[in-house]
Amino acid sequence: MNPSASFAPDAPWRIDRSRLATLAPRPAHDWDIEIVDETGSTNADLIERLRAQPRDNAPADPHAPVVRVAYSQTSGRGRRGRAWLAEPGNALLMSVGYVLRRPIEGLSGLSLAIGVAVLDALARLPLSPSARPALKWPNDVLLDDGKLAGILIETAWTGPGATAVVIGIGINLHGAEHLAAQVDDANRQAASAVPGTAPASLARAWPGANLTDTLAALLNAIDAALPRFETEGFKPFRQRWTDAHAYAGREVVLLDQGQEITRGVASGVDDSGHLLIDAPEGPRAVATGELSLRLAKERP
């Protein structure tokens, strides 16, 4: 793709700010929302920004979130330094920076709660009725078994009464086949990647998928989820996460850098967002850590 053509000012996929304000009035009015053509990583940008601001370790009132959206990232990232790939116009790449009034120990389950928020957002978009978005522990949203969205939560700073978090969300809108080839290539080159779930895009369930409506739906869902998590943690999200659990009752393996560490039947998650597995040696609750989850049948 010709890079200058991909950023044409009149490209049809560009976000329409006035439509965004109509569809997501509160966030569009109250939050600082930046939209840029290209950056390294929207998460990295917001981490830097939150670190540069004065720290408020015990905020009396909630701070308004800050949002950064990029049409393209030159170093989009997943967990453990893995790459997150996207082409301009084909993906929504956004990060939300927020000073969450919880210490770092209180963030358990946040990436799962945001997964539930992404499902809420998808429920407000005109997907075909047969589409079944689902959640894969700990941080992926699947559509028909393909990876539709990734969630990456990082912290900018932590204090006794607050943690500045950056919530990165990447959602594929179009071009899943091309993306699959790119992901395969990237995984072949990266020793840390554990190949598994192929990419899916929203267009499969919504041929007219567009950035503006998708961003608006996400902003509204995050606007509802953040205060809820802030006061109650993961608990109120647990049932909805379980209802959308992609691998419920299936045999799974947990891998640490490609090495199998346990295998068993995935039964759900607990109130802290730990994955519950019925393993041959007994039930186990697994914390997020840096593990990868795969269906057992995908492994030799």
Q: Within 236-295, which residues bind ligand ATP (CB under 6 A)? A: 292
| Closest to 293 in 3D by CA, of 79, 93, 92 | 79
Q: Which of 24, 46, 86, 121 binds ligand ATP (CB under 6 A)?
A: 86
Pick between residue 58 and residue 285 the one whose CB is nearest to ligand ATP: 285
Q: Which of 89, 106, 199, 264 binds ligand ATP (CB under 6 A)?
A: 199
Respond yes or no on whether the N-terminal peptide bond of residue 59 is cis (omega within 30° of 0): no
Give yes or no for residue 110 binding ligand ATP (CB under 6 A): no
Give yes or no for residue 88 binding ligand ATP (CB under 6 A): no
Torsion angle of the four alpha carbons 253, 256, 257, 263, in this order, in degrees rounded to the nearest 10: -20
Give yes or no for residue 217 binding ligand ATP (CB under 6 A): no
Tokens of 84: 């997150």
| Closest to 132 in 3D by CA, of 205, 42, 239 | 205
Pick between residue 30 and residue 256 the one whose CB is nearest to ligand ATP: 256
Side-chain-facing half-sphere of 50: CA atoms under 13 Å: 31
Give yes or no for residue 179 binding ligand ATP (CB under 6 A): yes
Helix (H, G, I), strand (E, B) or coil at 25: helix
Q: Within 142-161, which residues bind ligand ATP (CB under 6 A)? A: 147, 150, 152
Q: How would you classify the pairing of strands 91-100 and 66-73?
A: antiparallel
Give yes or no for residue 101 binding ligand ATP (CB under 6 A): no
Footprint on this chain of ligand ATP (rule: CB under 6 A): 78-79, 82-86, 139-140, 147, 150, 152, 170, 172, 179, 183, 187, 193-194, 196, 199, 292
